[in-house]
Amino acid sequence: MENLKAVILAAGEGKRMKSNIPKVLHKVMGRPMVMRVIDAARKAGAESIAVVAGHGSEQVIEAVSGEEPDVKFYLQESRQGTGHAVKQAVDFIGDKNDVFILYGDTPLIKAETLADLYDFHKKEGNGASIISAHVENSAGYGRIIRDRNGNFVKNVEDKDAVGDERNVNEINTGVYCFNGKRLKEALSLIKNDNAQKEYYLPDTLAVILEKGYGVNAMETDDVSEFMGVNSRVQLSEVEAALKNRINVFHMENGVTITDPSQTYIGDFVKIGRDTIIHPGTILEGSTEIGENCEIGPYSRLTNMVVGNGTSVQFSTALDSYVGNGTKVGPYAYIRPNSKIGDNIKVGDFVEVKNSVIGDGTKISHLTYVGDSDVGKNINFGCGTVTVNYDGKKKFRTVIEDNVFIGCNANLVAPVTLKEGSYVAAGSTVTKDVPEGSLAVARSRQQNIEGWTKK
């Protein structure tokens, strides 16, 4: 590929969004729309990318360049049409390369489709290639006019269409691949003598054809990929479509999703075979889940790595690792930097933070384990608290293998419970507990007889 480029139009105001945020920065499945278009263009081979911004350009530039520092920006100060918008980036386009022209508000566009368009463009040796779609209702779209032999002639906008043109149901999806030089020549020739007094980008197609270069449309029947967002309702529609696309991908890979409409899986999430995802589950970031797991209902996992055969229900887990055959929840909270091993129970109302938990350990209920190094086969009684913070500094609690902690114990860090030691219920442990011994750190019970009679 010879230095393929992409120009993304994002100057539209997005009035119907009724938002202080520029339209293209609204998120679809957690990622700003314009970033999704940039991702697709990059994946399809575009080496350099420009965004034409207008409304809210400072915000657009800040958000995009934060993630994609190489993207170039051009300003369209007044909205005079798609052709005018592309003209603003004329210095970027180049002569020897091809260039995609895309919209920043069509986040469902696939990289494979763009790659197909590029192949089509190259194979036919066109000056310009577009994607057209056959639709039932062509209202609002540019119509593709062909001659009696089926050759491309021109695009006619909805508002300019007359007579038979109105009934044409092959439409312009708004996705283009141009030879850079041909595009630049044509942009300098198009006029705005039309119904909307705008410079139409699709008018360049007829110009390129007249100059003797090939122009053709790659046809499709599926418009869903080219759906644009102009309102919050359409935003929810593309969100649903993308959510479904990702869910279908996982189901085709052997994952059971019991209610796809209530399951949100991020783009980069990986899930192993025969894992079951229950409703209300959100899997985000770089989360990776193994085989034969049961995740959900109602759980949120962000940047988690989970082994095989593990279950997580009604819980939140962030930036941590959970091993194999472990049970998490209901109502557990795993906070960042935790490493929870195999065959462990992290039960109801248990919070784990920045801790290592060894295999076979049971933390069944109502317990806080923070900044702790916990060994294997430990039993935490209900209501254990690692007291890790003195108001200024955090300290670590070390619990060696086979320790048994009775209910309602406070372990005041820094403190170590040595191998096989016991802690009596209700103890507040402030000193290390030697191997194999029992720590009792509570006042003795006194019974005052006859108390009620007095």
Distance CA 14, CA 197 (A): 20
Partner in contact with 414, chosen from Ca ion, ligand UD1, none, beta carbon below 5 to 8 Å by kind: none
Please state, as a whole number, how many other Cβ atoms lie within 10 Å of the Cβ of residue 383: 18
Binding of ligand UD1 at residue 105 (CB under 6 A)? Answer: yes
The continuous run of DSSP H or E covering 235 comes out as: helix 232-252
Active-site residue, selected from the candidate residues 84, 250, 278, 365: 365
Binding of ligand UD1 at residue 11 (CB under 6 A)? Answer: yes
Residue 121 known to be catalytic: no
For Ca ion, the closer of residues 12 and 260 by Cβ is 12
**Radius of gyration for the chain, computed over Cα atoms and rounded to the nearest angstrom:** 31
Chain positions contacting Ca ion, by CB under 5 A: 228
Which contacts qualify for 338-346: CB closer than 8 Å, 24 or more apart? 341/376, 342/307
Question: Shortest Cβ distance from residue 152 to ligand UD1 (Å)?
Answer: 14
Give the number of residues in contact with ligand UD1, rule: CB under 6 A: 27
Binding of ligand UD1 at residue 36 (CB under 6 A)? Answer: no
Binding of ligand UD1 at residue 85 (CB under 6 A)? Answer: yes
Distance CA 225, CA 241 (A): 9
Question: Shortest Cβ distance from residue 329 to ligand UD1 (Å)?
Answer: 43
- Identify the residue among 45, 214, 228, 285 touching ligand UD1 (CB under 6 A): 228
Q: Ramachandran region of residue 371, left (φ > 0), alpha (ψ -120 to 50) or beta?
A: left
Pair of tokens at residue 235: 């935003």
Report DSSP state, residue 427. -
For Ca ion, the closer of residues 65 and 231 by Cβ is 231
CA torsion 28-34-37-42 (nearest 10°) is -120
Only one residue has tokens 């920006």, namely 73
Binding of ligand UD1 at residue 307 (CB under 6 A)? Answer: no
Side-chain-side CA neighbours of residue 349 (13 Å): 8
Going residue by residue from 179 to 218, which x/- string records binding to ligand UD1, judged by CB under 6 A? ---------------------xxx----------------
The continuous run of DSSP H or E covering 297 comes out as: none
Binding of ligand UD1 at residue 329 (CB under 6 A)? Answer: no
For ligand UD1, the closer of residues 194 and 308 by Cβ is 194
Binding of ligand UD1 at residue 22 (CB under 6 A)? Answer: no
Q: Which of 98, 242, 66 is nearest to 176 (CA)?
A: 98
Binding of ligand UD1 at residue 80 (CB under 6 A)? Answer: yes
Amino acid at 57: S
Binding of ligand UD1 at residue 79 (CB under 6 A)? Answer: yes
> Residues in the site for ligand UD1, rule: CB under 6 A?
9, 11-12, 52, 54, 76, 79-82, 84-85, 103-105, 141-142, 155, 157, 171-174, 200-202, 228
Residues belonging to the active site:
365
